[in-house]
A = this chain, B = another copy of it.
């Protein structure tokens, strides 16, 4: 049933060595022997047994992606698009993507350790990096290739793909200030997440550069996605002096905020302006369409792979760092006061 190198060797009357070298494109095989071998191989339906190859070459030809199970994960469309880019690029490289998640009993870090030791992957793609991420320390200790989605801090000397969230939020605040807004609130995720922290920083920078006061009561942090967006907004609208604009750290929070505003009979873009972050497909299809910061999620996914690939092929000498600056897309959820 299964066709091996030996079978092809028999069928062609050549040695296993020669067949192997021919199929792998070495130049010390005569041109017509190569062709003969190739023809026979496809005729027999030969495909190399990857486990044997991996054992011998000590490479897995695979990247690993361990998704945290503590949060909503894929329910974030941005992450979904990012993943889609990762998969496309990996397929282009002819590699595999190995996705897993810690089970309850697994210690998180143990799982990484096990993956390293059992040689299942050549490198990791790290998502949802936090400040002082222990995974990064672990991987660096073991000198194991990886690329992070998001910096842990500003002095990172490893490869990553990140966004300039701070710049993005400054753009959003500038846009709202230009429209005449003075009381601008911010809906954030927990600040342990690098991503959220950077964006909030941009919010604060934006206010300050426009000479506006920073009012801590206008910054609310929620754990969940749409739900938080709605609840946080209700909380903000209940303030004695409610904001006229809300910047949310991602589109889902923004959409939750919009629904809370509309449920009170207010009009988004008129009574209260709202901005998001990520520019997920949906943000163009809610009503009113959402003003947001565009991030090329799919491309960033590809970039992650490219960077990791470079780290591995350069044997750790290169550690490419990519920073993407978001672009403000003005739609109808923001308007003059």
Contact = CB atoms under 8 A, between A and B. Distances in A.
Interface of A: 2-3, 45-52, 54-55, 60, 62, 67, 69, 72-75, 77, 80-81, 83-84, 87-88, 90-92, 96-103, 113-114, 117-120, 225-227, 229-230, 252, 255-256, 258-259, 262-263, 281-282, 284-287, 289
Nearest to A90: B100
Chain B CB count within 10 A is highest, among A69, A118, A255, for A118
Nearest to A115: B47
Contacts of A50: 118-120
Given A87-B101, A100-B90, A118 B255 contact: no
Contacts of A46: 117
A240 to B, nearest CB: 25
Number of this chain's copies in the complex: 2
- Does more than half of chain A's interface fall in helix, strand or loop, or is it mixed? helix
Given A282-B255, A287-B263, A119 B49 contact: yes
Chain B CB count within 10 A is highest, among A3, A55, A69, A229, for A55
Contact of A2 (B67, B103, B117, B226): B117
A286 to B, nearest CB: 6
B67 A74 contact: no
Contact of A259 (B96, B230, B285): B285
